[in-house]
Amino acid sequence: MHYLDHAATTDLRPEAADEWLRVARTTGNASSTHGAGQQARRILEESRERLAEVLDCDPIEVVLTSGGTESVNLAVQGLWRSRQAAADAVVLPDGEHHATLDTVAALAADGATVRPVRLDAVGRIPVGEFARAVAASGAALATALVANNEVGTLNDVAGLAGAAAAAAVPLHLDAVAALGHVPVSFRSWRGDAAAGAGLVALSVAGHKIGAPVGTGALVVARSARLSPLLHGGAQQRGLRSGTQDVAGAAAFARAAELAESERDAEAARLGTLRDQLVAGVLARVPAARLLGDPAPEGRLPGNAHLLFPGAPSESLLFLLDAAGISASAGSACQAGVAEPSHVVQALGRSEAEARSVIRFTLGRTSGDADVDAVLAVIGEAYERASGAAR
């Protein structure tokens, strides 16, 4: 099998699996006061410190969660509910992940006002438009992707954070797709923003970097005010009650350390593979188009999001899968749902074009053989898929 869907989930790192097994064999609740409990607590807090080192924040600011979706929900719902008495608008760029879109839709049903920001043609959030949206009265919070999870375009995070800080509006960033591929620094992005303003929350997930599924974190600034989603034990500053997953935290920390130590070299390697893949596909399917920022430095290193005019995504994916190639048409959270990509439409593309895209994403286990496998079949697959659609 040639796996080119690492943005959906990537291989579990052996080191992270070993860490999980080692810690899972120990007994003790990290909230207990006896020796076994305190041993678990020590491992938990050491893991939090290791994650904080990677994310460039204080350990107390790391709130462990079950993954990216919970982290996004805690940030967006928590910020809005803590501020709704004074402000009710959510600044929401187009093309966000469904974890954010659906959370904001649920808040809209509870009275939130949604203030959209349109993307540019490559999928980037224009800082000027974003600044105007957060500066308008009534903004309770803003949220944005560090890197678009579908087309891979990187945003000007410093610019977005600065605009939110200048408007005294709290900002949540979704760094799930970015962690391990580009630098992620909560402290530098936050800068000297006033308490409760600018960047106050940052979401990450473990399974995108080789940690077990079910691990994640939300970095929450010391000065931020969030209403918790879960109640019952007041763990983690009262923001996320419940018995903490010590083994998951240890495995996540190990995977994060490895991903960070390898990041620059791996980004260069994946960028080269991606460019080979894109050039090869465009040579074999001249009608195809690369979506997202065409500049290599403006997109995630392992992302190649391609439009295949006239060829339905479902047909292409079926033909690729039959050839032993795993790819996707967009976010895995929408897998199995036959709908056009909202991200592609946010770029100004038609619904028909949004139904004719494939996202190839490379990861730690990807190599030349995976690229060669795609190039060997993509021309015929396109001809068959587009011919069947006529």
Rounded CA gap, 128 and 117, in Å?
10
Rounded CA gap, 218 and 76, in Å?
11
- CA nearest 327: which of 5, 25, 56, 52? 5
- CA nearest 20: which of 38, 2, 47? 47
Rounded CA gap, 317 and 208, in Å?
22
Among the listed residues 12, 87, 229, 333, the single catalytic one is 333
Name the token pair of 242.
Answer: 């419940």
Q: Is 57 a catalytic residue?
A: no
Name the token pair of 221.
Answer: 């600034």
Query: Which ranges of 88-234 does DSSP label H, i.e. alpha helix?
Result: 98-109, 127-135, 157-166, 186-190
- The angle at the Cα of 184, spanning 367 to 70, to the nearest 5 degrees, equals 95
CA 254 to chain centre: 19
Pairing of strands 62-65, 216-220: antiparallel
Enumerate the active-site residues: 333
